[in-house]
Amino acid sequence: MNRGLLTLVAILAGLLIAAGAAHAHPHVWVKMKSAVVYGPDGAVIGVRHAWTFDDMYSAFATQGLDQKVKGQFTREELQPLAQVNVESLKEYAFFTFAKADGKSTPFAEPVDYHLEYNAQDTVLTLFFLLPFKAPVRAKAVNFEVYDPTYFVDFAWAEKDPVALTGAPAGCQLRVAKPPPMSAALAKRLADIPVDGQVPDDFSGAQFSNKVSVKCP
């Protein structure tokens, strides 16, 4: 398989076929840890993510990859896949939306990205730094992570999901999980055909994972 032609969308589409998915949304599950990164001058540089994909997605994504040791993948072997994944995520705004002092703050291209494979759990984790286009000086920084179409389900890791890196003294961090989904909505989403779209009145934003940081 030509990995240069493998986009994130192609992986997801192939996953559906391989899994014979009966439920339409979500299809991929991600456990994540994030860090709000500050520079030496106290300005916010951006957000560093670590996204661990479910084992089914990980198995499909690594199918056909060259490996020197069976059942293991080095960072170098996974780097072409990491690059394609990061480039493909741009179309989805990296599922990350930020505001500084109440104003939307755009991100630049990701840097310092790579994939790691956990052979014991057979899962992939994507690491990357999502920098702001320009460092931000703000007393309040908020960001959310979610897929508007709810094709991908994002959830905070149970332990230490968010951290502050290099933050000035006195900064306070709050992390919020999305509300539980009602049984009626879960059934509604499950009834959508595999190739169908979520209803117009539904937005994945209602299941966003939120972070707020306030500094003196």
- CA 184, CA 197: separation in Å to the nearest integer? 17
User: What's the pTM value of the predicted model, to 2 decimals?
Assistant: 0.84
pLDDT tens, position by position, 133-144 = 999 999 999 999
Query: Could you give the CA distance from residue 161 to residue 154 in angstroms, rounded to a whole number?
Result: 12
**CB burial class (10 A; 0-12, 13-18, 19+) of residue 187?**
exposed
Give the DSSP per-residue string, the chain. Answer: --GGG--HHHHHHHHHHHHT-S--S--EEEEEEEEEEE-TTS-EEEEEEEEEEPHHHHHHHHTT---SSTT---HHHHHHHHHHHHHHHGGGGGGEEEEETTEE--B---EEEEEEEETTTTEEEEEEEEEEEEEE--SEEEEEE--TT-SEEEEE-SSS-EEEESPPTT-EEEEEPPPPPPHHHHHHHHTS-TT----TT--GGGG-EEEEEE--
pLDDT at 17 over 70: no
Mean of per-residue pLDDT scores for the chain: 84
8 A C-beta contact, residue 87 and residue 107: no
Residue 152 bridge partners (DSSP): 28
Kindly report, residue by residue over 203-214, the tens digit of the pLDDT. 678 889 999 999
* pLDDT (0 to 100) of residue 202: 64
CA-angle at 128, arms to 127 and 133, nearest 5°: 170
Amino acid at position 52, single letter? T
Q: Which pLDDT does position 4 carry in this prediction?
A: 34
Quote the CA–CA distance of 98 and 145 in Å, as a whole number.
9
* Phi and psi based region of residue 71 (left: phi greater than 0; alpha: psi -120 to 50; beta: remaining): left
> What's the pLDDT tens digit per position in 138-163?
999 999 999 888 888 899 999 999 99
- Kindly tell me if the per-residue pLDDT of 3 is higher than 70: no
Does 200 score more than 70 pLDDT? no
Mean pLDDT of 29-33: 96
pLDDT at 204: 72
